[in-house]
Amino acid sequence: MKSYFKLLFQRAVVVSLCLLIQVGVLVFGVHYLSGYSVWFNIGMDIVAWLAVIWIVSCRTEPTYKIAWIIPILALPLFGISFYLLFGGNRLSRRLKRRMQTVQQIHMDNLTQDMRVLEREQALSPEAALQSNYLIRVAGCPVCENTESTYYACGEAAVGDMLDAIARAERYIFLEYFIIQTGRLWEQMLRLLRKKAAAGVDVRVIYDDFGCIMTLPGGYWRKLEKVGIKACPFNPYVPVLSSRLNNRDHRKFLIVDGEIGFTGGMNLADEYINLEERFGYWKDCVIRLKGEAVWPMTVMFLAMWAQIKGWKETVSFYKPPRPIAISKRPHGFVQPFADSPLDNEPVGDTVFFNLITKARRSVYIMTPYLIISDKMISALTVAVKNGVDVRIITPGIPDKKMVFAVTRAHYADLLSQGVKIYEYSPGFVHAKVVCVDREYAVVGTVNFDFRSLYLHFEDGVWLYKADCVGAVARDFDETFQLCHRMSLAEVRSWPIHRRLAGAFLRLFSPLM
Mean pLDDT computed over 392-414: 94
Supply the pTM of this predicted model: 0.89
**Same domain for 490 and 397:** yes
* Low-confidence winner among 46-60, 91-105, 110-124 (lowest mean pLDDT): 91-105
* Low-confidence winner among 9-23, 37-51, 158-172 (lowest mean pLDDT): 9-23
CATH of the domain at 292: 3.30.870.10
Its domain, for residue 20, covers 2-86
* Residue percentage of the chain with pLDDT more than 70: 86
Q: Is the pLDDT of residue 1 over 50?
A: no
- Asked if residue 31 is part of any domain, the answer here is yes
- Asked if residue 169 is part of any domain, the answer here is yes
Q: Is the pLDDT of residue 8 over 70?
A: no
Q: pLDDT tens digits for 105-155?
A: 777 888 999 999 999 999 999 999 999 999 999 999 999 999 999 999 999
**Same domain for 232 and 158:** yes
Number of domain units in the chain:
3
pLDDT of residue 343: 81
DSSP character string of 38-62: HHHHHHHHHHHHHHHHHHHHSSS-H
**Same domain for 360 and 295:** no
Of 333, 366, 384, which residue is a domain's last? Answer: 333
**Same domain for 276 and 147:** yes
Of 333, 357, 390, which residue is a domain's last? Answer: 333
- Asked if residue 338 is part of any domain, the answer here is no
| Residue 289, SS3 per DSSP | strand
Q: Is the pLDDT of residue 245 over 90?
A: no
**Same domain for 153 and 301:** yes
Cα 435 to Cα 127, 131, 165, 266, 387, distances in angstroms: 12, 15, 33, 25, 10
Instruction: Classify 335 in phi/psi space as left (phi over 0), alpha (psi -120 to 50) or beta.
Output: beta
- Asked if residue 341 is part of any domain, the answer here is no
* Low-confidence winner among 130-139, 241-250, 349-358 (lowest mean pLDDT): 241-250
Distance of CA 92 to the CA centre of its chain: 23
Query: Facing residues of 484 across strands?
Result: 421
Residues 6+ apart with CB under 8 A from 265: 154, 157, 251, 271, 272, 283, 284, 285, 429
**Same domain for 255 and 304:** yes
pLDDT of residue 504: 79
**Same domain for 307 and 158:** yes
DSSP character string of 417-459: T-EEEEETTEEE---EEEETTTEEEEES--BSHIIIIISBEEE
Q: Are 379 and 362 contacting, i.e. CB atoms less than 8 angstroms apart?
A: yes
- Asked if residue 339 is part of any domain, the answer here is no
Q: pLDDT tens digits for 442-481?
A: 999 999 988 998 899 999 999 999 999 999 999 999 999 9
Residues 6+ apart with CB under 8 A from 13: none
* Low-confidence winner among 17-31, 46-60, 401-415 (lowest mean pLDDT): 17-31
Q: Is the pLDDT of residue 60 over 50?
A: yes
Q: Is the pLDDT of residue 374 over 80?
A: yes
**Same domain for 277 and 172:** yes
**Same domain for 155 and 41:** no
pLDDT of residue 153: 97
Nearest to 268 by CA among 380, 158, 395: 158
**Same domain for 323 and 209:** yes
Q: How confident is the model at residue 169 (pLDDT cuts 50, 70, 90)?
A: very high
Query: Facing residues of 150 across strands?
Result: 286
**Same domain for 252 and 233:** yes
Of 86, 116, 151, which residue is a domain's last? Answer: 86
**Same domain for 259 and 166:** yes
- Asked if residue 62 is part of any domain, the answer here is yes
* Low-confidence winner among 18-22, 73-77, 359-363, 436-440 (lowest mean pLDDT): 18-22
Q: Is the pLDDT of residue 35 over 80?
A: no
- Asked if residue 243 is part of any domain, the answer here is yes
pLDDT of residue 106: 74
Over the chain, what is the mean pLDDT? 88
At 68, which amino acid appears? Answer: W
- Asked if residue 340 is part of any domain, the answer here is no
Kindly list the strands in the beta sheet with 171-176, ordered across the sheet, starting from the edge strand earlier in the chain.
146-151, 285-290, 259-263, 252-255, 171-176, 201-207, 229-233
